Structures are given as C-alpha cells and as structure tokens.
C-alpha cells in the first residue's frame, strides 16, 4: 500500500487487476450509450420541441411554442384532467356533457397531460394505427383507444367554445384587404365529403350515397370567417344531403347570423330566398340558366371577384385534409365519433399560420 501505517483497501486497479470488472464496465457504458440513443430517437415532445420542421410534420402545429400555449389553456380548462371514456353508453354521456362536466378523471393515467395531447395530435396528423402508437408510447392498445375517444370529445367541446361563430364585430385588424369591401361579411361556407365504408343496410346506403362523389360519403358544412379562421363546422350528414338542406338545418350557423350580415357561398347553395327572410344577404356567383347562351359582362366580372375571394374557404378545407386520419375510408365503427374528429381537425387549423399573406392581397 502507498500510505504507510494505514491498511486502506486500494480502490483503483489497472486493467490487468480485474478483467471481469473492466469488461462489465465497458458493457454498462455500451448499454448506457444505446439507451440514450434510443431515447433520443423516440417519438416524444422532448425530442421534437427544438425541431420546428419535425414538430409540424407530426402535429400540424407550427412549433412547440404554439403547442405549449394550447396545452396550458386546455390544462387550465380541464383542471389537469380529462374524463375518461368507458364503453359506448359512457361515450354518449360524455359527448352530451358540457365543458364544466369534464373535470373528474379516472385514476391510473399512464401519460402526462402534455404527452397525451401530443399523442392525440400525432394520431390526427399521421393517421397512425393504435397498435403503432401503443408501441411508440409504451402503453396498451386499449389505453390508446380510450384516450383518443376521451380527447376527441374534450377537444370538440373546447374548440367549439373558442371559435364557433365568434363575432369580431367591425374589427378590421388582421382582415385581408380582399374582404374589406364586404364589411358585413360574416362567413364563407362550403361543403366537403369524406369517403365512407359501405353499409350492409340498403336504407343506410340510400342515405349515404353521394351523387356528386358517386360513392358512399359523410358530409360536412365548413365555414370560414373573413379573418381567415374556421368558425363553423356542421354535424355529420349522410352524403345524400344537399348543401341547401345542411345549411338550413344548421341552427348554430343560422343563429349566429344577425340581420344585415352577409354569407358568401358557391352557386350550389340555393339558399338566397331562405336567408333573405332572416335579413341575411348572400353573395353567390351568377346563374346562367337555360334561357340564355352566356353571362353578361357585369355577371362575369362579379363572378370572378367572388371566386377570387371564395377560393380561400377551399384552401382552408384543403388544410383540414392534411390531417391524414381523414384520408382513409371512414369505417362504420368510427361513425359515432367522426363528427368530433372532423371538427377537431378543422378547428386545429386555426393554430397554423394564415393561409394567405395579409400584406400581399389587393382589394378586388
């Protein structure tokens, strides 16, 4: 021993002193390195928060800061918890509850609130199967299914409160110049359809078959504010329902249109007479009809102006469809919740960057 007079155990030894220990230490270091590499490649908020490109790819949100702001708001609203779905009867009750009823929470949650929200956004954006997500997040398939249904009901309720038919009044801040000549414009509307699995019931097939798409579909009416955010999503309709029928049976939409307001739509929305009874004006491209061969010069100019301004609702719907969960055929077992899924995807586009550069659009 180096220290005379003391019988201390020597704590350091060279490689030749204990080769088994040296080998074990090297193996432990190798395992530690592999573990760190595995965690760095794992799909998680922590690994993506500093990479805006990947964060947008997996969540459809511009960056982590937007996600974090949304998470803070939702966590405050839910009091840190979301009521869990347990079976079909509970799902019906859950969808019928308002936001104040979504406070209680079943114990045993395996993920934090932040990671639950992240998982839900990943599923909406990428359309991944529950088995894949269960493997990625180290939870059971049943847990993913329960989590998804619960969050869809919760987000649907919260986002509707934030955006549905919110009145911006006469505010022009952030209003694109393309809409400034239509000061009373309240909403631009259009319909879109999702492919639906064929039902074995002939009566249901009769209701869901779309003459426009030539297949079975589920249909939604989408509205966009002139301030460029989605401010209305209808309930789910069978593909046979006409644009007019859906519009005139959307109470939340009609109730949010005060007398004197203006609605812009495509020529397929033959609702001018019905809305005029409510004191609401419609801006729709001209109809040529069968009695004449062409439009007048004034009608052509007006239709071009309307098309130039109405095109942005189509761009908004295109953004909604970037959530790949909407890209596949809607299975019959998803029909009970497709309304919530579509609405959540639609309202989530409001957290993205504007669809047009507000400084480059010139008034028509």
Selection from 107, 35, 97, 102 nearest residue 75 by Cα: 102
d(CA 6, CA 4): 6
d(CA 98, CA 340): 14
3-class SS letters over the chain: CCCCCCCCCCCCCCCCCCHHHHHHHHHHHHHHHHHHHHHHHCCCHHHHCCCHHHHHHHHCCCCHHHHHHHHHHHHHHHCCCCCCCCCHHHHHHHHHCCHHHCCCCCCCCCCCHHHHHHHHHHHHHHCCCHHHHHHHHCCCHHHHHHHHHHHHHHHHHHHHHHHCCCCCCCCCCCCCHHHCCCCCEEEEEEEEEEEECCCCCHHHHHHHEECCCCEEEEEEEEEECCCCCEEEECCCEECCCCHHHHHHCCHHHHHCCCCCCEEECCCCCCCHHHHHCCCCEEECCCCCCCCCCCCCHHHHHHHHHHHHHHHHHHHHHHHHCCCHHHCCCECHHHCCCHHHHHHHHHHHHHHCCCCCCCCCCCCC
Selection from 179, 258, 193 nearest residue 224 by Cα: 179
pLDDT of residue 219: 97
CB-CB contact of 244 with 221 (8 Å) = no
The neighbour count for residue 128, using CB atoms within 10 Å, is 20
d(CA 225, CA 263): 10
pLDDT of residue 229: 92
d(CA 178, CA 362): 6
Please write the tens of the pLDDT for every residue from 195-217. 999 988 888 889 999 988 899 99
The neighbour count for residue 342, using CB atoms within 10 Å, is 26
The neighbour count for residue 259, using CB atoms within 10 Å, is 8
pTM for the model stands at 0.82
- Tell me the domains of the chain and their CATH numbers: 47-163 (no CATH), 177-351 (3.30.420.10)
d(CA 229, CA 224): 6
CB-CB contact of 222 with 316 (8 Å) = yes
Please write the tens of the pLDDT for every residue from 299-318. 677 777 777 888 999 999 99
Task: Report the largest interatomic distance among the alpha carbons of the chain, rounded to a whole angstrom.
Answer: 119
Q: What are the residues facing 185 on neighbouring strands?
A: 262
| pLDDT digits (tens), the chain, 364 positions | 455 555 554 444 455 568 888 888 877 877 777 666 655 557 889 899 999 999 999 999 999 999 999 999 999 998 755 666 665 544 445 445 544 333 333 334 588 899 999 999 999 999 999 999 999 888 999 999 999 999 999 999 999 999 999 876 666 666 777 777 777 889 999 999 999 999 888 888 899 999 888 999 999 999 999 989 999 999 999 999 999 999 999 999 999 999 999 999 998 899 999 999 999 999 888 776 666 667 777 767 777 777 788 899 999 999 999 999 999 899 888 889 999 999 999 999 999 998 876 554 444 3
d(CA 256, CA 186): 9
């Amino acid at each position: 021993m180096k220290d005379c007079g003391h019988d201390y155990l020597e704590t350091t030894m060279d490689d030749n002193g204990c080769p088994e220990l040296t080998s074990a230490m090297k193996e432990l270091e190798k395992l530690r390195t592999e573990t760190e590499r595995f965690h760095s490649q794992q799909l998680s908020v922590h690994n993506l928060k500093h990479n805006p490109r990947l964060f947008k790819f997996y969540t459809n949100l511009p960056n982590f800061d937007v996600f974090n702001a949304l998470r803070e708001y939702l966590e405050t609203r839910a009091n840190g918890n979301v009521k869990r779905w347990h079976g079909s009867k509970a799902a019906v009750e859950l969808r019928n509850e308002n936001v104040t009823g979504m406070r209680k929470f079943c114990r045993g949650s395996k993920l934090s609130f932040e990671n639950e929200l992240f998982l839900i956004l990943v599923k909406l954006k990428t359309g991944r199967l529950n088995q894949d997500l269960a493997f990625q997040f180290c939870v059971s398939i049943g847990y993913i299914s329960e989590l998804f249904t619960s969050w869809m009901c919760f987000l649907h309720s919260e986002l509707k409160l934030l955006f549905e038919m919110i009145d911006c009044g006469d505010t022009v801040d952030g209003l694109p110049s393309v809409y400034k000549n239509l000061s009373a414009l309240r909403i631009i509307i259009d319909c879109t359809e999702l492919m639906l699995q064929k039902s074995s019931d002939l009566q249901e097939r009769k209701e869901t078959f779309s003459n426009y798409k030539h297949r079975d579909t589920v249909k939604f009416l989408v509205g966009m504010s002139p301030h460029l955010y989605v401010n209305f999503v209808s309930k789910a309709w069978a593909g046979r329902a006409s644009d007019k029928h859906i519009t005139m049976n959307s109470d939340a939409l009609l109730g949010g249109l005060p007398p004197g307001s203006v609605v812009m739509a495509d020529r397929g929305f033959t609702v001018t007479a019905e809305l005029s009874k409510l004191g609401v004006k419609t801006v729709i491209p001209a109809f040529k009809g069968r009695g004449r061969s062409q439009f007048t010069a004034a009608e052509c100019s007006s239709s071009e102006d309307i098309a130039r301004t109405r095109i942005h609702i189509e761009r908004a719907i295109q953004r909604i469809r970037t959530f790949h969960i909407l890209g596949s055929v809607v299975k019959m077992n998803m029909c009970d919740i497709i309304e919530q899924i579509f609405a959540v995807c639609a309202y989530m586009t409001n957290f993205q960057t504007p669809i047009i550069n507000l400084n480059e659009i010139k008034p028509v």
